[in-house]
Each structure stands twice: as C-alpha cells, then as structure tokens.
Structure 1
C-alpha cells in the first residue's frame, strides 16, 4: 500500500510542476492531443503503461 501512495505522490509532484512551471505549454499539449485520433491516443497510452511497468520492474529488481 505504501508503494501505491508513493507512486500517486510522485505523479502529483510531476503533474504539479507542469502546471506551475509551464501552463502555456500545457495548453499546446492539450491542443496537440486533441488533434490525434483515438487509436493514436490509445497507442500512446499503452506505450506509457508499458514503460511505466518496465520502470517499476527495473526499480523493484534493483532494490531501489
């Protein structure tokens, strides 16, 4: 359970930094994402999930 809370906390930190440091770039990113098709967004999401699982697997394997 502690790892889940840690993960959510890290996501909030990173997302908060994006909102705080580059809000206008976030508008550009949302516009670019809206221009993608649903299949392209789904593919990007699946790639992000796979990378996240890989990073967690590596971190757990190295005892980080």
Structure 2
C-alpha cells in the first residue's frame, strides 16, 4: 500500500495491476484502485494534494 500512496502523492500513474479508474454516480469526481483483489482505496486528487477517502471491500463500498 505504501507504493500506491507514494505514487498518488507524486501524481504518478499507478501500474495497471492496481486497476485505477474513475468512479461515477454518487462517487463522481473520485477514483478507485485495488490494493488487493477485493480491498479498494477510494481517493480524490486536488491541485496540490490527494485525499484518501476510504479503504474497504467492494461490497461494503457499493
């Protein structure tokens, strides 16, 4: 998980293995990546920062 946070903090692209993608609906404006198979990180980029919103399973989030 440290690798993901470091990459997000430097606004680097996440490797494909993390399945990073935009969210829609009530989560529009946020992104999600897979830390593990069913352990997801929801986050949001701002001009000078990144906000880590939540870590949870897909079922718990959606």
Do Structure 1 and Structure 2 share a fold, with TM-score over 0.5?
no
TM bucket normalised to smaller = under 0.3
Please identify the structure whose Cα radius of gyration is greater: 1
TM-score, normalised on structure 2? 0.25
Q: TM-score, structure 1 length as denominator?
A: 0.24
